[in-house]
Amino acid sequence: MPHFNVGHENSANIELYYEDHGKGNPVILIHGYPLNGASWEKQVPVLLSTGHRVITYDRRGFGKSSQPTTGYNYDTFAEDLHKLITHLGLREFALVGFSMGGGEVARYIGKYGSKGVSKAVIISGVPPYLLKTQDNPEGVDGSVFEGIEKAVGADRYAFFTEFFKNFYNTDVLLNKRVSEQAVQASWNVAAFSSATASLACVPTWHEDFRKDLAKIDVPTLVMHGDADRILPIGAAGMRTAKLINGAKLFVVNGGPHSIIWTHADEVNPELVAFLGQAAAKHAG
């Protein structure tokens, strides 16, 4: 199983797990909280079959990656991504981020620029800025995030059970677009994440990505479900699409937060079509 080193904590290396399959234009898939790279299982085969090289990785603290107690902020997450890209020697790659992964896409380009990036996709992403402030009245009150932190700190396993109900909108979609087993599998993955990471990632959800989004100058697709209870489309996807010059917004009707699972039949064709169109536009 391939790993690469991104740093050290005391005597231990911090290593991230990744998978690298196929040939063609590279696509890096960046997962959401509190899952891992395997959460893209409905997208990977489709992208491989349409001629892409597909790379997934587990964010620090999650999946098969190391579980340090440091580095849970978007500057470090973007640096970890940059080290993966450098490690693999990638050029002309697409960045596709789901939920928290949308923050990596934004911060990576904000920090390192778009050199080498052919296109960007943000699906159910945390940008642009979720915290309500004087200059961001559309945001969410800080007490909401404080409540989540308290719940995770008190009993993260109980929190995950409630979280996934809204992740998949199980009251509406269970046994229609998501099975009980799939929800349980997500809970199992979450349970094996780092307790430190589970808690430390919560305040990163309301980092300010507005300046990062303004720097995105490659073809960009924003996808969001209009029934997202984790990151409401009005506070996230719609605003993100407006802040990125020329971005395309694709709304999944009735889509919950995890549209990459429940509505893969809509997400995948749109994703494949965009990657192909963007590649042709970039080449031209």
Active-site residue list: 99, 228, 257
Q: Letter for the amino acid at 226?
A: D
Q: Are strands 220-225 and 93-98 parallel, antiparallel or unpaired?
A: unpaired
Give the 3-state DSSP-derived string for the chain, with helices as H, strands as E and coil as C.
CCEEEEEEECCEEEEEEEEEECCCEEEEEECCCCCCHHHHCCCHHHHHHCCEEEEEECCCCCCCCCCCCCCCCHHHHHHHHHHHHHHHCCCCEEEEEECHHHHHHHHHHHHHCCCCEEEEEEECCCCCCCECECCECCCECHHHHHHHHHHHHHHHHHHHHHHHHHHHCHHHHECCCECHHHHHHHHHHHHCCCHHHHHHCHHHHHCCCHHHHHCCCCCEEEEEECCCCCCCCCCCHHHHHHHCCCCEEEEECCCCCCHHHHCHHHHHHHHHHHHHHHHHHHHC
